[in-house]
Amino acid sequence: AQTVTQSQPEMSVQEAETVTLSCTYDTSESDYYLFWYKQPPSRQMILVIRQEAYKQQNATENRFSVNFQKAAKSFSLKISDSQLGDAAMYFCAYRSARLYDNNDMRFGAGTRLTVKP
Amino acid sequence: DTGVSQDPRHKITKRGQNVTFRCDPISEHNRLYWYRQTLGQGPEFLTYFQNEAQLEKSRLLSDRFSAERPKGSFSTLEIQRTEQGDSAMYLCASSLALGPGRTAYEQYFGPGTRLTVT
């Protein structure tokens, strides 16, 4: 079974600084997707960034980028120029790319990010 | 608003009562998922639908839980004889599977229904 581990329950960053959130996963599959979701205090999950395992290039979305290390099964999220609105719970998630799979997400336990003004 | 909506947002019930939650997915999405999230944890998969067919249920989904998606649009999740351990946030998500043998991409989540069983 696939598992996702986020070893940092809490992180904090100074506004305008850079922070990196860690995520490791365990799978025997070769094709899959990885995601970072943000869950602000209002609790609605919002997709931050997606990475396809077959792509070697790391995904980027504006101030958000990932460091995907497939051999190490590591998928970290870097937030540059942190803003107060980035404060939230961040969840790393895994989804199989197998055909005819239910494609349910496997989530880590989350990292609570605090942004200090 | 074309996002995923859930109703109610909060529900407080006494142990032993039945509760029902509703999820309205993004209109063109054919897949609908239910997850449960307890405090300090990430969401855990409960069940999912492809159109109106319920295709998989997690072992977390006890016999007291039942889900329907009668016309392939909205879905309901019912919990019978609620227990204190059922207290959690129940999240609904939807996605688009692009045809037989095609995987769906990211899931879009609703705001959740927070259930408190007293």
Cβ atoms B91, B42 nearer than 8 A = no
- Give burial (CB, 10 Å; 0-12/13-18/19+) of B69: buried
Contacts of A109 in chain B (CB under 8 A): 40-42
Tell me: pLDDT of B60 over 70.
yes
Q: Supply the pLDDT for residue B40.
A: 83
Query: Percent of chain B scored above 70 by pLDDT?
Result: 92
**Regarding beta strands A46-52 and A106-107, do their DSSP bridges make them parallel or antiparallel, or are they unpaired?**
unpaired
Mean pLDDT check: name the lowest of A1-5, B27-31, B99-103: B99-103
Euclidean distance between CA atoms B4 and B94, whole angstroms: 7
As a whole number, mean pLDDT of residues A63-82 equals 97
| Residue A52 tokens, joined | 């396809």
Q: How far apart are CA A94 and CA A13, in angstroms?
A: 26
Report the percentage of chain A scoring pLDDT > 70.
94
Predicted confidence (pLDDT) at residue A106 exceeds the cutoff of 60: yes
The mean pLDDT of B36-45, rounded to a whole number, is 91
Q: Can you tell me whether residue A86 is helix, strand or coil?
A: helix
Reply yes or no on whether the pLDDT at A30 is more than 80. Answer: yes
State yes or no: pLDDT of A41 exceeds 90. Answer: no
Confidence of residue A47 (pLDDT cuts 50, 70, 90): very high
**pLDDT category of residue B2 using cuts at 50, 70 and 90:** confident
Confidence tier at B1 by pLDDT (50, 70, 90): low
pLDDT attached to residue B103: 55
Q: Say yes or no for a CB contact (<8 Å) between A105 and B111.
A: no
Contact B90, B35 (CB under 8 A): yes
Amino acid letter, residue B1:
D
Q: Is A102's CB within 8 Å of B55's CB?
A: yes
Q: Considering only CA atoms, which of A28, A33, A27, A63 is closest in space to residue A48?
A: A63
Q: Is B101–A37 a contact, with Cβ atoms under 8 angstroms apart?
A: no
Q: What is the pLDDT of residues B85-103, one digit of tens each?
A: 999 999 999 988 766 555 5
Average pLDDT over residues B101-113: 78
Closest by Cβ to A103, choosing from B91, B103, B108: B103
User: What band does B18 get if pLDDT is binned at 50, 70 and 90?
Assistant: very high
Percent of chain B with pLDDT over 90: 64
Q: A-chain residues within 8 Å CB-CB of B105?
A: 33, 50
